[in-house]
Amino acid sequence: MNLPSESARRGPAAPASVGIQAWSVLLVSTLAFLVCFVVWMMFGVLGVRLRDELGLNSTEFGLLTATPVLSGAIMRLPLGAWTDRFGGRIVMTSLLVVCAIPVYIVSYASQLWQFLLIGLFLGCVGASFAVGTPYVARFFPPERRGFAMGFFGAGTVGAAVNLFVTPSLEAAFGWRFVPRVYAVALLVTAVIFWLGSARDPGAGASKGSWAESFKVLRDPRVWRLCQYYSITFGGFTALSLWIPQYLKAEYGMTLVVAAAFAAGFSLPGSVLRAVGGLLADKFGAHNVTWWGLWVAWICLFILSYPPTDLVIHTISGDVTLHIYVPIAGFVVLAFLLGSVFAFGMASTFKYVADDFPTNMGVVTGIVGLAGGLGGFLLPIMFGALLDIFQVRSSCFMLLYGVVWVSLILMYVSEVRRTPVLEQPQH
């Protein structure tokens, strides 16, 4: 097996210190990702209104909210590869400008198939993550990349911004006004990003053919990271879309109030990614991911339990226990779950920066693709489970099972350090 040279493993030279230019790139990239995430998640709120207007069942609602996530997932791989070749500045600006068109067209849709078709094009904004992550990482030294990527990833706070802004705009001006505002926001953000960004120092780092760029996908470590990210980011995205209607149905809230309470999950799941990056820099990506998944396992176990009346036959009569998760308990558990998902998202890409410095764009793309596919498939599965079993907490039951798979895989491949899974294949 031919081992890469030290310079090859390090990838493009990173600055020894962090200058003003690096901070400027980080800030405008995070802003661009935040705006993209708001747009990407808007069907999670608008879909609740459209569900009544179009008469959708739970499965159709899940498909409506998840369709943009699908294209956002699929496009992460090619956009990550293009970022390695052409640079993050050019790719991100082009993405913002081009995606403003389908976002605006949403305001003219009136049938489910139209929303699904336009949603596929609109969803490309979700692929901005695969552009910004390797782009900002190249402006920071290796020991600071966990923080830089975590800070950029905090742009997923757009999910929480969506929960506050979209219901307010929809209530005040009607739902068709929302995509028009967001289309203008994308264009304005493109201008700000271009002015505040700089030439990508890693542009053109991938010199070989496209086939050679994707050879890294043979490495089993890449697919292990895909599993971790499919639950941390995929679960976060799916629940950000699903929780507003869950709260509306389970606790009888209005859409505006349900969206505000749902922010208890989305907000920490976004803001704390920077903290997760710092923790991964200090304690290692494995420790943060491992313990974060265990906390998620506990939270999902409790949330999975449906409201239950338990009748106990005693010698003096029957005693009925009503078991349920009160709204206060739900908010606390959702906050913890969003927090550890944030840590897991950040630590996953600390793995990427440490293990694949010369192929960050491609690996970021494939790992992001896995997370995006998780975000696409999970809401549809949530809806199907709800239609079949008629139990609202079935969505948390499904995530509980996925976390189990991730913990077992991590134990076998990292805790026990199984040689077969540890060795990259060439």
For the ranges 122-126, 183-187, 194-198, the lowest mean pLDDT is seen at: 122-126
Percent with pLDDT over 70 in the chain? 88
Q: Rounding to the nearest 10 degrees, give the CA dihedral for residues 341, 344, 349, 355.
A: -160
Write down the pLDDT at residue 188: 96
CB 45 within 8 A of CB 166: yes
CB 288 within 8 A of CB 346: yes
pLDDT digits over 37-89, tens only?
Answer: 888 888 877 877 888 888 888 788 878 877 887 888 788 778 877 887 888 88
Which two three-digit tokens encode residue 239?
A: 């629940």
Write down the pLDDT at residue 101: 92
The mean per-residue pLDDT over the stretch 220-240 comes to: 84
Helical (H) or strand (E) element with 312: strand 308-314
- 8-state DSSP, 138: T
CB 262 within 8 A of CB 159: no
Write down the pLDDT at residue 423: 46
Comparing 33 with 130, which gets the higher pLDDT?
33
Measured CA to CA, the distance from residue 372 to residue 385 in angstroms comes to: 20
Helical (H) or strand (E) element with 319: strand 317-323
Does the pLDDT of residue 8 top 50, yes or no?
no
The mean per-residue pLDDT over the stretch 394-399 comes to: 91
Specify the pairing of strand 308-314 against strand 317-323.
Answer: antiparallel
pLDDT digits over 260-270, tens only?
Answer: 777 777 777 66
- 8-state DSSP, 318: E
Comparing 210 with 328, which gets the higher pLDDT?
328
- Other CB atoms within 10 Å distance of the CB of residue 422: 13
Write down the pLDDT at residue 319: 87
What Cα–Cα distance (Å) separates residue 282 from each residue in 221, 276, 357, 375?
21, 10, 19, 29
Measured CA to CA, the distance from residue 181 to residue 168 in angstroms comes to: 13
Which two three-digit tokens encode residue 344?
A: 């897991």
Measured CA to CA, the distance from residue 116 to residue 121 in angstroms comes to: 9
- Enumerate residues 6+ apart whose C-beta is below 8 A from 97: 186, 187, 190
SS3 15: coil
CB 322 within 8 A of CB 309: yes
| HSE-up (13 A, CA, CB side) for residue 5 | 4
Angle at 65 between CA 46 and CA 398, to 5 degrees: 130
Does the pLDDT of residue 1 top 60, yes or no?
no
Does the pLDDT of residue 11 top 60, yes or no?
no
Does the pLDDT of residue 352 top 80, yes or no?
no
Q: Report the topology of domain 19-422.
A: Growth Hormone; Chain: A; (1.20.1250)
pLDDT digits over 238-290, tens only?
Answer: 888 788 888 888 888 887 788 777 777 777 766 777 788 778 888 888 888 88
Write down the pLDDT at residue 422: 44
Does the pLDDT of residue 354 top 60, yes or no?
yes
CB 130 within 8 A of CB 76: yes
Average pLDDT, the chain: 81
- Enumerate residues 6+ apart whose C-beta is below 8 A from 282: none
Does the pLDDT of residue 14 top 60, yes or no?
no
- Other CB atoms within 10 Å distance of the CB of residue 382: 28
Query: pLDDT category, 344, cuts 50, 70, 90?
Result: confident
Model confidence, pTM? 0.67
Does the pLDDT of residue 6 top 60, yes or no?
no
Measured CA to CA, the distance from residue 96 to residue 126 in angstroms comes to: 11
Measured CA to CA, the distance from residue 116 to residue 407 in angstroms comes to: 34
Q: What values do phi and psi take at 422, rounded to 5?
A: -80, -30
Write down the pLDDT at residue 416: 63
Measured CA to CA, the distance from residue 362 to residue 76 in angstroms comes to: 9
Write down the pLDDT at residue 9: 43
The mean per-residue pLDDT over the stretch 111-123 comes to: 86
Query: pLDDT category, 204, cuts 50, 70, 90?
Result: low
Q: Where are the domains of the chain?
A: 19-422
Comparing 350 with 295, which gets the higher pLDDT?
295
Which two three-digit tokens encode residue 193?
A: 């990003």
Write down the pLDDT at residue 209: 56
User: Residue-wise over 331-369: b if at least 16 C-beta within 10 A, else e?
Assistant: bebbbbbbbbbbbbbbbbbbbbbebbbbbbbbbbbbbbb
> Quick one: 176 exposed, middle or buried, by C-beta within 10 A (0-12, 13-18, 19+)?
middle
Measured CA to CA, the distance from residue 401 to residue 399 in angstroms comes to: 5
- 8-state DSSP, 143: G
